[in-house]
Each structure stands twice: as structure tokens, then as C-alpha cells.
Amino acid sequence: MLIPFSMKNCFQLLCNCQVPAAGFKKTVKNGLILQSISNDVYQNLAVEDWIHDHMNLEGKPILFFWQNSPSVVIGRHQNPWQECNLNLMREEGIKLARRRSGGGTVYHDMGNINLTFFTTKKKYDRMENLKLIVRALNAVQPQLDVQATKRFDLLLDGQFKISGTASKIGRTTAYHHCTLLCSTDGTFLSSLLKSPYQGIRSNATASIPSLVKNLLEKDPTLTCEVLMNAVATEYAAYHQIDNHIHLINPT
């Protein structure tokens, strides 16, 4: 179930400020599931940073869903000239953003789901989060062969990457975020994530190319909405919280 709610009030709840809606008290006590209504990559990355930097996550884990209009997001230690086709991005009006976590370069569009798992530093566990996603996918489609790898990716049928992962660990809080390919434009993805420049020498972290596949190609019923609801349900069951998805507006 989707519940519209202002981002400001959601943050107030988790900061132990005044509770604007009595019905949220039980939910916020143990955790919260959020979904951004913005499709702007800069706004959504800013939400991640704000939660990480300002929230008291002790006993209050957060799952944050977000989707972006076409954009390319590079890791904290990456060189955009090595990772993507900047000229094509400029021609197509594709935004470029740098996130605060490490990892490789990814392409986002409305066919991709971004998931961010916020916890305390002590509770940080990337593999457990990925196993949760696998359980959610299998709950919707038991025939799916999806496995988490040692590199913290999710592979479909043992070879196609459907999720890449990265994380940021702070002094007391941490987050693990990952993608989930549902119906991403594969042609755009491959074209944009290929730099035309050869021979650049840099100490920047290089991405590792992988074969990718959309879940919708495997099963046309696996829409973004279905997948988000499935993950939300599994997350709520795991943390014993309400499975309502609270909509927030970062603007």
C-alpha cells in the first residue's frame, strides 16, 4: 500500500521529533519503507546523503526505493571520461552524477529500480540484503534462478547481471544500495557506458563490464511496481514492521 507523506515529516519522525500522524508511531518504532516520487537523480542522491548523515538508525532501519529519469551515475573514485560516452550523454540530455559510495558506473532510467538499505554500522550486511531481494523475487516467480555473488551482484541464470551494488560506511551509520533491472533500455545502457576515449591513464577505479538482462525479458509480469511491492513485503516481514510504502517528495 502506498501512503503519500512529506519528506520533512518522515525525517522528523525518525529524528524523534514531533509525530505528525499517530498512525505512524508503531511503524517508525522499528523501521520505515520509503519511495521517492521524484525522478531527479540529484534529488534522490541528496535524500540518501541526508538520511545517512542525519538519521538515528538505531533500531530503525530504512528501505528507500527510488527511480531516475535517464542518467549515468559514477562511483566515488571513478573518472567519467573513462566510464561513459560524455558526448552522447550531452546530445541526449542524459544527466551525469557522482555518488558518495564506491563501485562502478551504472545507467538509470525508469525501467530500473534503485534500493537503498540504511542501517547502523553494526547492522550493515550487504549479503543479507541481497538474499532478501532473492527471496522477494522467488516469492513472485519461484522459477527464477537468481543468485548473489561474492562480488555482491545478483545474477540471473548464472550469467546475466540484474543488480549491481555499492555501499558507504560511516562512523555510526551505513547504507548499501543496489540496482534492479526490470525493463531498462539495453541499447542506451550499452551505448552510454562505453567511453570513446582510449588510452587514458588514471588511478581511478575502473568498472567491470558484465552481461546484463532485464527481469521483464524473463517474465513479462515482473514490472517495477510488482518488484517493489514484493521487496517491500519481504523487508517488512524480515524486520517485523508495517509493509506500507510511504511516498516522499524531496523537492
Write out the chain's pLDDT in tens, 251 residues. Answer: 454 555 455 554 444 333 333 333 333 468 999 999 999 999 999 999 999 999 999 999 999 999 999 999 999 999 999 999 999 999 999 999 999 999 999 999 999 999 999 999 999 999 999 999 999 999 999 999 999 999 999 999 999 999 999 999 999 999 999 999 999 999 999 999 999 998 888 999 999 999 999 999 999 999 999 999 999 999 999 999 999 999 999 98
Structural domain count of the chain: 1
**CA torsion through residues 235, 142, 157, 223, sign:** negative
Report d(CA 70, CA 211) in Å as an integer.
Answer: 20
Q: What are the C-alpha distances in Å from 163 to residues 116, 140, 148?
A: 12, 17, 9
CATH number at residue 190: 3.30.930.10
Residue of 234, 231, 215 whose CA lies nearest to 223: 215
Report d(CA 184, CA 193) in Å as an integer.
Answer: 13
Q: Are 109 and 66 in contact (CB under 8 A)?
A: no
- Residues spanned by the domain of 8: 2-248
Biggest CA pair distance of the chain: 59
174, β-bridge pairs: 119, 169
